Structure 1
Amino acid sequence: MPAPTSFELLWGAPAKPKRGPKPSLTLERIVTEAIALADTEGLANLSMQRLAERIGCAKMALYRYVPGKTELIALMIDAALGAPPEPIAAPANSAEPWRDYLRLWTESIAERYDTHPWALELTPGIRPMGPNEMGWLESSLTALDGSGLDAAERFDATVLLIGHARALIQQVGGGNGDADMEAQLVKEMGAVLMEHGERFPHVAEALAEQAARPDEDSGRNNALSFGIDRILDGLGVLIDSRK
């Protein structure tokens, strides 16, 4: 029997439970441990041998569940992204019922990439997509359904929001969790500007203004929110032009 492909592993029917003791090794456990390994040690250290050592099994035992690293990675991506946020009800009088959900959607996918920064490296390009990843696309397109945008425009809007989230996490480096990424950036750049601020007056002004804000109005990670708002503002203008 040929080994299952990535597509078959992502979309195939789950195996039926068998009688007898529950096996200690399952595909779900393998994927979960692989994600934990990539999160803590980086993608470069992910190998079937290293994964087997982490789980405490023989390397060949893994191949009973997944043919190789390529198929394993496809499963890891889909599991790490998880399901998209549930739809949220917009106020009855809302002129832009799609806006609140797309903000939540973009913030949520940015959080997933921040938690699993190795996924930034693995998700570009043409490859099999699993049910979770397809669910993210479907939920965004659904939010814009009835907005006046055609299907291609709704898809392009989704790609634009994903690109913004990815770019911000990639720019500052993922794996920061709840850390204030902008505060870290200000701290790193501050040392340079103390010595060379006269060469970069506008950078110094922007960072000084950011640092002077009170904590409750610090604009924590404001670049993500600012970009989301500007993208959604643009969509709102386009949608209004169709009415």
Structure 2
Amino acid sequence: MPKDTLLEFLWSDPKTSRRGPKPQVNRGRIVEAAIKIADSEGIDAASMQRIAVEVEVTKMALYRHIPGRSELIGLMIEVGLGPAPAVAGPWHEGLRNWADAMETALSRHRWLSSALVGPRPIGPGELGWTEAGLDALSDAPLSASERLDTLVLVGSHVRGIVEQNGVHTTATERASGARLTALLREHREEFPLSMEAYSGTATADTADQAYDYGLQRILAGVAALIESR
């Protein structure tokens, strides 16, 4: 589907009535099933065939509601992100709340961080997040383009942390980290700086620490730019 057509699809009203018997499934149920599969097995596992099995209809029945893979991913993003957060107070507090809400959404649906990357049509739900972020920065003496670039920077940081470490570290990931620490101890003479750095975070939640550190540095940088004016 061309990008313009995909954009119109994401902004269309799925509640438009159709003549004939009531279908066994609808757009919402299909997307719900796709997200359930993606949450447990990854977004690649959420194929139309797999979803058809999940909702107990034929694969062709799905295409009456969602034309293809691009439309499915677009709707999954819209539902996965959920409603945009409310922001209030000074710009740095509002932006922090926006970032925390984004972190929560992306950690709930780990496939979202990769799905959000790259140029693509944006639906009203995702645009609502942009609107909320810009609203958080509305009292900051920045240009409109600077506010948008600030959101991109913060969003990239949140996605990067979720992709690299995960906000909720699994037992497998913790075991892998413990093994790396043990190996560093064995090779401390070869990697002394890495040993020192990893030892400093051994008792902390590394993902949370990296998230907070990076976000604080970004906010401090924006604050410095504002003060310079």
TM bucket by the smaller chain? 0.7 to 0.9
Which 10-residue stretch deviates more, 162-171 or 198-207?
Answer: 198-207
Q: What amino acid is aligned across from residue 228 of structure 1 in structure 2?
A: L
1:219 CA displacement: 6.9
Go from structure 1 to structure 2 and tell me whether the alpha carbon gap of 1:186 and 1:42 turns closer, same or farther (over 3 Å shift).
closer
Q: Does 1:234 align with 2:221?
A: yes
Instruction: Work out the CA distance in 1 between the residues paired with 2:168 and 2:73.
Output: 22
Q: What amino acid is aligned across from residue 85 of structure 2 in structure 1?
A: P
Aligned counterpart, 2:129: 136
Aligned counterpart, 1:189: 180
1:161 CA displacement: 0.3
Instruction: Work out the CA distance in 2 between the residues paired with 1:212 and 1:111.
Output: 23
Instruction: Work out the CA distance in 2 between the residues paired with 1:121 and 1:143.
Output: 25
Unaligned stretches of 5+ in structure 1?
91-96
1:212 CA displacement: 5.4
Aligned counterpart, 1:94: none
Go from structure 1 to structure 2 and tell me whether the alpha carbon gap of 1:180 and 1:99 turns closer, same or farther (over 3 Å shift).
farther
1:179 CA displacement: 5.5
Aligned counterpart, 1:153: 146
Question: In the TM superposition, what whole-angstrom CA distance separates every residue of 1:12-58 from its partner, at most 9, and x where no partner exists?
Answer: 13424689996541111111111111111222222111110011111
Instruction: Work out the CA distance in 2 between the residues paired with 1:220 and 1:171.
Output: 8
Q: Does 1:205 align with 2:193?
A: no
Identity of aligned residues (%): 41
Any idea what SS the aligned residue of 1:127 has? coil
**What RMSD over aligned residues (CA atoms) do the two structures have, in Å?**
2.7
Q: What amino acid is aligned across from residue 188 of structure 2 in structure 1?
A: G
1:118 CA displacement: 2.1
Aligned counterpart, 1:80: 80
Do 1:113 and 1:119's aligned partners in 2 also have CA atoms closer than 8 Å? Answer: yes
Instruction: Work out the CA distance in 1 between the residues paired with 2:192 and 2:214.
Output: 24
Aligned counterpart, 2:107: 114
Instruction: Work out the CA distance in 1 between the residues paired with 2:171 and 2:216.
Output: 19
Question: In the TM superposition, what whole-angstrom CA distance separates every residue of 1:144-165 from its partner, at most 9, and x where no partner exists?
Answer: 1131101111111111001111
TM-score for both structures, normalised by structure 2: 0.87
Do 1:180 and 1:220's aligned partners in 2 also have CA atoms closer than 8 Å? Answer: no
Q: Does 1:102 align with 2:116?
A: no
Question: In the TM superposition, what whole-angstrom CA distance separates every residue of 1:59-108 from its partner, at most 9, and x where no partner exists?
Answer: 111111111112111111111111221123x3xxxxxx011121121122
Go from structure 1 to structure 2 and tell me whether the alpha carbon gap of 1:12 and 1:23 turns closer, same or farther (over 3 Å shift).
same
Instruction: Work out the CA distance in 2 between the residues paired with 1:180 and 1:144.
Output: 38
Instruction: Work out the CA distance in 2 between the residues paired with 1:75 and 1:24.
Output: 19
Any idea what SS the aligned residue of 1:198 has? coil
Number of corresponding residues: 226
Pairing partner for 1:222 from 172, 190, 209: 209
Q: What amino acid is aligned across from residue 31 of structure 1 in structure 2?
A: V
Instruction: Work out the CA distance in 2 between the residues paired with 1:120 and 1:36.
Output: 16
TM-score for both structures, normalised by structure 1: 0.82
Aligned counterpart, 1:177: 168
Q: What amino acid is aligned across from residue 192 of structure 1 in structure 2?
A: L
Do 1:52 and 1:62's aligned partners in 2 also have CA atoms closer than 8 Å? Answer: yes
Instruction: Work out the CA distance in 2 between the residues paired with 1:41 and 1:183.
Output: 20
Unaligned stretches of 5+ in structure 2?
none
